[in-house]
Structure 1
Amino acid sequence: MYVEVFAVLVAVCGVCMVVQNRLEKASHQDGGSAVSSMVEDGGTPNTIAVQKGQRDSFSRFQLSYLVVYYLAVSSDWLQGPYVYALYSDYGYDKQAIGQLFIAGFGSSALFGTFVAAVADKFGRKSNVIVFCVTYALSCVTKHSPNFWVLMIGRVLGGIATSILFSAFEAWLVSEHHSRNYPGPWLSETFAKAQFGNGVVAIVSGQLAGQAANTFGKVAPFDMSLVVLVLCGLLVSWMWSENYGDERQSVGAGLGNAWNIMLRDRRILMIGLIQSCFEGAMYTFVFVWTPAMQARSGDVEIPHGMIFSSFMVCMMIGSSLFTVLVSKFAIEKFLRVCIVLALGVFVNAIALNSLIGVYGSFLAFEVICGIYFPSFGTLRSRYIPEEVRSAIMNFFRLPLNIIVVAMMYRDLDMTTIFSISASLMLISLVGLQVLIHSPSIAHADLK
């Protein structure tokens, strides 16, 4: 069943890619038509040349971001499948491993926001380089079986993760707007980033598996270290620096970000939706294996094939986002996605069928593929530039608390999926409030 499902998903993904490419070409042709209209209306040759050259300039800029982003997420995917396995090989039991994982999420919650505020003041490019160094040091600690060395590695990894999910996007959005590229092109970059993330995850998983089988379970972390060095070098060479508000101290920047977030209901709802949706999603990452294995009985499920299918579904979702965003407002189709995600967790409680639950989980991954570029676009729309990194990491604070709380308590599957469904319901309410919230001038909130 699993191989056949994977083959069908790959075929569907191929169709989605064709549709996505046609939409992008049509968009480019619309730009060309605009240039032709300028010629007919007496547009100057210099203006026409600028219009024609803007797309080429954007393509180069987009590539400079995506190459670095793909390397960064590759460094994360290379490590992911073998963190638990390495700790287990070192002789640690489930409780000790749980403490190490909680340390990672806890450090992200405690230190991530401060590190993000540093990025707004001292530069997003510099913060990305800090990510490369911090995550590389975390990889080095994996060579030691000492619990406290591994704990330091988890703390460093938590800090690096906070940067990965804030500084990269903050740099992209700031640079995109400073170069005066059209807003819809930013959504295109988010979609390509998410699609490529799925490809990178599959390839990285296969490479990590080969390395672990050949050289041992620490080898994927050494591969990640090499990727991080390359990522840091490319950032230093290809990216320019951009900032939030350089005039404020880090503490003042955090205070300003906090005040803006609390007084603008739209930003607050963005944070609520993100924390609840991604809290349920990260919980899903930890429980899909036992949930499916329980329904498979004594037959072991093929983890690698299922994971690859999940990633293809994410790619399908990112392609669907490109189609949907060209036809509908993001808030409208995101509302449908959240309702469907709520249904996935209800199905996980109600269904005993392996096929039914697997189908629901695949649908959830498609939804996640739509969600990430959608929310990247919404954040770029609502979060003010000068405190972008800080606010994005404020959003991650409740997310990390949710994940730590779910991991800390030994909850049964029904309870976990019930909590996840409740989180989706809260996300849905938050989206409704966002849709009906009035616009506020951020300058009045300082």
Structure 2
Amino acid sequence: MTKISVIIPIYNMGLYLEECLKSVMMQTLKDIEVICINDGSTDNSLEILERYSLVHNNIIILNQENCGVARARNNGINIANGEFVVFMDPDDYYPENDILECLYNSAKENNVYICGGSYSSFRNGKIITSYYGWLKDFTFTSYKKVNFKEYQCFFGFQRFIYNLEFLKKNDIYFPLYVRYEDPPFLVRAMICAKEFYSIKKITYCYRTGYKRVILTLRKTIDYAKGVLDVLNISKEHGLKKLQAIVLETMRDDLSSAIYKHIAEGNLELRDLLCQINSFIENQSSKEIDKAFSKIYLLEPQQITEHIKKNMIKEKEFIHTLQEYKKIIIYGACRVAETVADYLKSIDGINIICFAVTDASKNPSNIYDIPVRNINEITSYNENSLVLIATFTNHHQEIRNKLEELQFKNVLPIYFDELQLFGTSIK
């Protein structure tokens, strides 16, 4: 009997696919099948799959026209023969060879439908295993059964295995979105199962930071639909913590894209924003109120004025940048990378480095730009402009550090404004 079916949707991932497949094929658990759905790749992904299938007779290749990861995973579920299924992305990998064995044995021994471990990220050459805020839920510190109503995390679905019969019996599939298709799947599965078993082991490594995510109109619409799905499910089951986390992450990831596309005249997104705002207005709890203090969503009629103000800020920002020949980006996180991406689009901007407090805890370079200790570049404190490119809760601490080192020219970056730069009004 097949114990686990590993489902891998693949679209143009030839660069990382072999590392992914090696980590799967080296698993110590016997009786697994590996279902590879080639989602219309135009690179060498299919060639790699066919080469591996000649050596490993448990690899199944399913070719389809480019339909997206949601349909690909659903097709994988439908042809799977395993007692459990697990989902792998083709640019990620298993950090150890006994991951599937540990998950399968723990699920069987504890008689659960879902079993999972901790999450790690591979970013710019560094493996990240420590997280903060609600992301701390990516890490399990004990072996035990967990009630989902006490957990309420909706990311990291790849680190869990799922009983196949349980998924099919409850009609749990991925909604056909091009973005944010996995949180509704994970939340529905967890609510139906009620509980899962956690193991004190990192069971998945997620590769990030090597490509820029651009929220196109289609992706933004589907993201908003997925957010509404999770908000409505959480409302139905009284999951206030989950609602708050969804709203907070939407504030960071989605609000600017919504504003951008509504300003350009999209009515479908305008309607989705009204539904999200209506949900917010009708909810009340400590957790939700805390999220509201960090999130703002404008009514559609306010968005045009908001964009106009931001366009003026962008012009002022570019003018300030062009006054300096040397730019230092303080930070090495997603905000800093987004800033660097934006600056590359402006002629005459010279980024000399990323600066951090401790370079040993960061990659040596990002986008081929060196990462240096701020203490080591004080020779630039008079003639450079330092952009504070971190989340705002770190701004004051960094300002104090730069003042101590006598940097004269400092400009904080606000991520929500930065995300709207380049937006026009229809």
TM-score (norm 2): 0.24
Structure number with the higher strand fraction is 2
Higher relative contact order (CA 8 A, sep 6+): 1
- Taking structure 1 as the reference length, the TM-score comes to 0.23
Q: Which has the larger radius of gyration?
A: 2
